[in-house]
């Protein structure tokens, strides 16, 4: 008879709740330029590439800080590290409302981008409060804080229309302060969760040479990096492609951001049940199909018929485009959870370090993609070139997964039972 699962301590659920709240608010702040960047682009007269750089600056610093934050979390604990991170971000966000020049927005964007590093703190902090068979669920629930990108699209446009964009950073700074208080009161520390003081930094960084870690970095660069890049890009995409008002554009863009964040918890549960490999494999194929259809640009072509020339139009309307984005968001949500299920299973003693490395790769994808989206748009004039780029990245992941996990694996272990696969 199966041994009943021991009940989890009350502190574990409290830590999960307040950490998820903190991450949601941090992600909302991290994605701020996705909305306020629209009026800023008009005010500053930015090109598509310059707008992409502006939107990406917070993602750059938030990505680079992830590895050290993950290491510090392993050594000092998630409670103190995340509290300090929240406190540091508050003045940086407030200062944004007083910036006037493009370079000032770039510099302050680097500072407020530190909020994005909260993921590499909260993931190991939360995971260590749960047993192995529940880690996927715990990390999935915490990762659902990605829905802060959608919250930003609901909150920021209303503030911009009512009070102007300068009020958004002030409101967000106040929300950050309140979140810091709630987090500190609801979180807890457990010395048993810290790595040994004898553990050397060089030992933790050896994970960089592990080929499996590099593979997970590639996976995460599309499911998270693509999610961040598109979350930053989609509002202005709707405005430019379909001529929508910023509030309507933000609402439709949230149809991608919201499921891409909230449903991550379901992805964690599915990964616990079916295994990280199976979920990630089907996620990549779902992304491949959606991106293939989204890549096709608005096209008019004329052919000669027996009745004379006839012109046809091929292209996605707003409904079709949004529906595909919604499905893509669901796939990426599941993929973000399944990648971290790999990490929880294979590196239980180095979750902070490995999640920091993989998070860095995903964040760098989120930093580079909006810049590349802007460059491709300036170069080709085709907005759907953004999806063409992501389509190519997914191909790389599928090929890598096939050769390392599908072709050369006879048995894939899952929490419930082994799954036989053919060579």
Per residue in 101-114, pLDDT tens?
888 888 888 888 88
Assess if residue 391 is contained within a domain: yes
Q: Tell me what pLDDT residue 176 has.
A: 94
Q: Tell me what pLDDT residue 185 has.
A: 92
Q: Tell me what pLDDT residue 420 has.
A: 35
Assess if residue 196 is contained within a domain: no
Query: Computed over its alpha carbons, how large is the radius of gyration of the chain?
Result: 22
Assess if residue 341 is contained within a domain: yes
Cβ(269)–Cβ(140) below 8 Å = yes
Around 18, how many Cα atoms within 13 Å sit in the side-chain half-sphere? 23
Whole-model pTM?
0.71
Q: Tell me what pLDDT residue 2 has.
A: 41
Assess if residue 267 is contained within a domain: yes
Q: Tell me what pLDDT residue 414 has.
A: 43
Assess if residue 199 is contained within a domain: no
d(CA 67, CA 59): 14
> Distances from the Cα of 102 to the Cαs of 13, 30, 58, 99, in angstroms?
43, 18, 14, 8
Q: Is 346 exposed, middle or buried (0-12, 13-18, 19+ CB in 10 A)?
A: middle
Residue ranges in the chain whose pLDDT is less than 50: 1-4, 410-423
Q: Which positions ≥6 away from 353 have C-beta within 8 Å?
A: 67, 70, 71, 74, 204, 205, 207, 347
Q: How many domains does the chain have?
A: 1
Assess if residue 228 is contained within a domain: yes
CATH number assigned to the domain comprising residue 255: 1.20.1250.20
Residue-wise pLDDT for 196-205, tens only, equals 655 555 655 5
Q: Tell me what pLDDT residue 319 has.
A: 92
Q: What is the mean pLDDT of the chain?
A: 82
Assess if residue 376 is contained within a domain: yes
Percent of the chain with pLDDT over 70: 89
What string of DSSP letters covers 132-198? HHHHHHHHHHHHGGGGHHHHHHHHHHHHHHHH-TTHHHHHHHHHHHHHHHHHHHH----GGGSPPTT
Residue-wise pLDDT for 98-157, tens only, equals 888 888 888 888 888 888 888 788 888 888 888 877 777 787 788 778 788 788 888 888
Domain span at residue 386? Answer: 14-188+204-300+311-420
Q: Tell me what pLDDT residue 184 has.
A: 93
Q: Tell me what pLDDT residue 5 has.
A: 55
Assess if residue 194 is contained within a domain: no
């Amino acid at each position: 008879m199966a041994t009943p699962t021991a009940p989890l301590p009350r502190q574990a659920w409290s830590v999960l709740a307040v950490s998820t709240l903190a991450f949601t608010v941090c992600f909302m702040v991290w994605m701020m330029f996705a909305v306020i960047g629209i009026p800023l682009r008009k005010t500053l007269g930015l090109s598509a590439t310059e707008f992409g750089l502006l939107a990406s600056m917070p993602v750059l610093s938030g990505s680079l800080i992830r590895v050290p934050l993950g290491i510090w979390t392993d050594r000092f604990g998630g409670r103190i590290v995340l509290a300090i991170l929240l406190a540091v971000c508050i003045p940086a966000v407030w200062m944004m409302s007083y910036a006037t020049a493009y370079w000032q927005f770039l510099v302050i964007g680097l500072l407020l981008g530190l909020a994005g590093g909260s993921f590499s703190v909260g993931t190991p902090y939360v995971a260590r409060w749960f047993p192995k068979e529940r880690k996927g669920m715990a990390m999935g629930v915490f990762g659902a804080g990605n829905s802060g990108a959608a919250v930003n699209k609901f909150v920021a446009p209303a503030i911009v229309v009512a009070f102007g964009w300068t009020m958004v950073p002030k409101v967000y700074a106040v929300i950050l302060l309140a979140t810091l208080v709630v987090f500190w009161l609801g979180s807890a520390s457990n010395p048993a969760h810290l790595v040994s003081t004898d553990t050397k930094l060089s030992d933790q960084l050896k994970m960089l040479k592990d080929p499996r870690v590099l593979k997970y970095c590639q996976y995460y660069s599309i499911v998270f990096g693509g999610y961040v890049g598109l979350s930053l890009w989609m509002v202005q995409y709707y405005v430019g492609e379909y001529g929508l008002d910023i509030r309507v554009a933000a609402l439709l863009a949230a149809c991608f951001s919201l499921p891409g964040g909230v449903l991550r918890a379901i992805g964690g549960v599915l990964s616990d049940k079916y295994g990280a490999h199976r979920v990630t494999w089907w996620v990549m194929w779902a992304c491949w199909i959606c991106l293939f259809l989204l890549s096709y640009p608005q096209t008019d072509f004329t052919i000669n018929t027996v009745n004379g020339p006839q012109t046809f139009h091929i292209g996605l309307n707003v409904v079709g485009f949004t529906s595909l984005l919604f499905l893509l968001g669901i796939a990426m949500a599941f993929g973000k959870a399944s990648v971290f299920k790999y990490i929880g299973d294979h590196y239980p003693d180095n979750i902070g370090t490995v999640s920091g490395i993989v998070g860095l790769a995903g964040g760098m994808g989120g930093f580079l993609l909006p810049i590349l989206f802007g460059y491709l748009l300036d170069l080709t004039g085709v907005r759907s070139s953004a999806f063409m780029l992501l389509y190519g990245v997914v191909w790389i992941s599928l090929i890598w997964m096939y050769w390392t996990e599908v072709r050369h694996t006879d048995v894939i272990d899952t929490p419930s039972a082994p799954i036989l696969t053919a060579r």
